[in-house]
């Protein structure tokens, strides 16, 4: 749990993510519920997340917003609202000191990409990105939860 995030915001955000996951296209679940994620998909997914992180680092709200799924875009409303939400509620995602991608996995028909991050103070965080396949076969970020991990990076 993000230490700076108000509990009510976190509860609401988690409920929203759960709702979005429940509405994920049935085709994804039926497509490969237990298949390993291919190397090509892994590269595509990591590129999307890294591109969003790069856009956030450059304070490029339009570009960062473009990697969010249509559902997230509709919910948040605008690029400015999106970057403000990330800045205030997900500071480690907004400005990670380091990023390490874990192996992506299908979880109950949803593709989840774990990303180990450290903040500027050296605290460890785990960001879990849910990904949504678009009609054009591209990937977009449909949610992100961040949890504090034990320990510090040195």
Q: What is the pLDDT of residues 8-18, one digit of tens each?
A: 443 444 444 44
In terms of DSSP H, where are the helices of the chain?
7-22, 26-31, 39-57, 61-66, 70-76, 79-89, 91-94
Write the pLDDT tens digit of every residue in 70-96.
999 999 999 999 999 999 999 999 999
Global pTM value = 0.76
* Torsion of Cα atoms, 134 then 70 then 131 then 139, to 10°: 40
Mean of pLDDT over the chain: 83
What domains are defined for the chain?
Answer: 7-152 (3.10.450.630)
Bridge pairing between strands 105-107 and 123-133:
unpaired
End-to-end CA, the chain: 21
């Amino acid at each position: 749990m993000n230490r700076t995030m108000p509990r009510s915001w976190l509860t609401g955000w988690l409920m929203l993510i759960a709702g979005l996951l429940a509405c994920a296209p049935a085709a994804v679940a039926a497509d490969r519920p237990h298949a390993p994620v291919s190397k090509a998909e892994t590269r595509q997914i990591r590129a999307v997340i890294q591109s969003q992180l790069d856009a956030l680092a450059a304070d490029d709200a339009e570009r960062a917003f473009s990697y969010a799924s249509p559902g997230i875009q509709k919910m948040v409303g605008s690029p400015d609202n999106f970057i403000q939400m990330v800045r205030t509620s997900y500071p480690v995602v907004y400005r990670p000191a380091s990023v390490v991608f874990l192996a992506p996995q299908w979880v109950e028909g949803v593709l989840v990409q774990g990303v180990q991050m450290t903040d500027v103070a050296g605290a460890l965080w785990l960001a879990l990105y849910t990904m949504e396949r678009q009609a054009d076969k591209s990937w977009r970020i449909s949610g992100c939860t961040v949890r504090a991990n034990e320990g510090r990076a040195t």
